[in-house]
Chains A and B, each alone.
Chain A
Amino acid sequence: MIMIFGIPGPLLFGQLLLGLINGAFYAMLSLGLAVIFGMLNIINFAHGALFMMGAFVSWILLNYLGIGYFPALILSPLLVGIFGIILEKTIISRLYKLDHLYGLLLTFGLSLVIEGLFRNAYGSSGMPYRIPEMLSGATNLGFMYMPNYRGWVVAAALVVCISTWLIIEKTSLGATLRAATENAPMVQAFGVNVPRLITLTYAGGVALAAFAGVLAAPIYSVNPNMGSNFINTVFAVVVIGGMGSIMGSILTGFGLGVVEGLTKVFYPQASATVVFVVMVIVLLVRPRGLFGKAA
């Protein structure tokens, strides 16, 4: 057996892969948070609940309507995105003129309500979601066995993250988004319907969370708390990466997943806290975060 730093190779690579998987979810979730924060100036505490909704909607689609995994990958973000549009139009849009704190409190409250509703309806023990036939099994990579589904999650997350980055940095829609983030009244005075742009941005960020939720459904059981388990770490990721930086949240998400995975191998006792230790160090050295821009 190969030994690396006195650790058996398969164990090291296994944890590295687990780290990458977690990192993929951190990246997708913090990306959505960064996009929403940039445009709406609201820290969307409901993000975890919407991630959970994404997983639940795919479970509901499968068990009540017989709609499988791959259609759910499109349908669930779409449905949760529409739910996001309703939330933004009816509730969140009333807070834009107020302090950040109100948005934080409101979305935190929303997440409690959403999670409570699902707990009432489905209990909190969690329900299994089978890995689709096509992605079950494992592949021998030579140095380890990789479950196919986990490879798929990392690849899908990478594609979604990079596409989001390309849309924001390289298209004219993205330029309009960046401009509106910087000076919304000016962009509106050019003829852009900024309120609609804000609604669609929220829907887009929410759809990203739901997409991550569908990807997560076969890995973690589908349960009402799956969002809150993730979201604390994701907020640390956003703080470390720097609020509002798109590439920053992607790199930090994957990076911290890997750091967490490696910690599990070398010093398991610290694996639950390592992200927060990194956060403290980063904030001491660079208060704006690793990729944050000067105010």
Chain B
Amino acid sequence: MLEVNGLNAWYGESHILHGVDFEVREGEVVTLLGRNGAGKTTTMKSIMGLVPRREGSVKFRGNEMVGLMPNQIARAGIAICPEERGIFGSLSVTENLMLPPIVAPGGLTVEEIYTLFPNLRERAKTAHGTKLSGGEQQMLAIGRILRTGAKMLLLDEPTEGLAPVIVQQIGRTIREIKNRGFTVLLVEQNFRFAATVADRHYVMEHGKIVDMIPNHLLESSMDKLHEYLGV
């Protein structure tokens, strides 16, 4: 579904990605693991066209995405939930939820999103999206892209800084949307969480993919993984 080949990305003079190669198959949940600064977030942003300069190839359903504008990439059916969540303070919670345009049929209804995240229903009338707690903002950031009908979701550290009970709720949500046929590329620092939702893990170092570990081999690869992640 998503094939990334020889992806390079730059921020100004600094060369961040040095030929990233990986693929995500339809219906899979795949994680990018790696230390801070390994290039995970930049990989997400490069897929979405949100970096100043990129080269190489990102094929989505066989179509080349490098060279397209972010809005065209979104219309092709890729949606991002960024690390900083991107909730708008000048919009109410409902306006935040309804903001992303529908790009394809088959998205979740608002009612289904409220069933996944009951907190959002209670807070729907809140006048400023940024008045929500961190966990609620994360639910809103995930919920609003489920509505759009995009089937390829890029989730950048959705569990960062959240309480364990909310992390579990987000884990349930990822498994639920996988069952519904969504494809997910997940950036995680917390590989214990990643192990509960993902099919495969790619390990990044210095702007490259250095390893791929299927989830059932994660336990036996712990030593290797500890070395990669430095934990």
Contacts of A190 in B (CB 8 A): 71, 74, 79, 99-101, 145, 148
Q: Say if the beta carbon of B135 comes within 8 Å of chain A.
A: no
By secondary structure, the B interface counts as loop
Q: Say if the beta carbon of B132 comes within 8 Å of chain A.
A: no
Given known A-B contacts A175-B91, A179-B90, A182-B88, A189 and B101 have beta carbons under 8 A apart: no
Q: Assess whether B99 is in contact with A175, with CB atoms less than 8 Å apart.
A: yes
In the bound complex, what is the Cα–Cα distance between A172 and B50 (angstroms)?
A: 24
Which stretch (A81-89, A191-199, A209-217) binds chain B? A191-199
Shortest distance between the CB of B88 and any CB in chain A (Å)? 5
Q: Assess whether A175 is in contact with B98, with CB atoms less than 8 Å apart.
A: yes
In the bound complex, what is the Cα–Cα distance between A194 and B75 (angstroms)?
A: 13
Q: Assess whether B99 is in contact with A191, with CB atoms less than 8 Å apart.
A: no
Q: Say if the beta carbon of A176 comes within 8 Å of chain B.
A: yes
We find that the number of chain B residues with CB closer than 8 angstroms to chain A is: 25
In the bound complex, what is the Cα–Cα distance between A189 and B76 (angstroms)?
A: 11
Please, what's the 1-or-0 string for B69-82, where 1 marks a CB less than 8 Å from any CB in chain A?
Answer: 11101110001101
Q: Say if the beta carbon of A137 comes within 8 Å of chain B.
A: no
Please, what's the 1-or-0 string for B34-75, where 1 marks a CB less than 8 Å from any CB in chain A?
Answer: 000000000000001110000000000000000001110111
In the bound complex, what is the Cα–Cα distance between A172 and B79 (angstroms)?
A: 20
| A179, A187, A190, A193: most-surrounded residue (chain B CB, <10 A) | A190
- A185-B70, A189-B82 given. 16 additional CB < 8 A pairs? A175-B91, A175-B98, A179-B88, A182-B88, A182-B90, A183-B86, A185-B50, A188-B69, A188-B70, A189-B48, A189-B73, A189-B80, A190-B79, A190-B101, A191-B74, A191-B100
Q: Which A residues have a C-beta under 8 Å from some C-beta of B?
A: 172, 175-176, 178-179, 181-183, 185-194
Which 7 pairs from chain A and chain B are nearest by CB?
A: A191-B74, A190-B100, A175-B95, A186-B86, A178-B90, A189-B70, A188-B70
Can you sample 15 A-B contacts with CB below 8 Å?
A172-B99, A178-B91, A179-B99, A182-B88, A186-B82, A187-B99, A189-B74, A189-B80, A190-B71, A190-B79, A190-B99, A191-B71, A191-B75, A191-B100, A191-B101
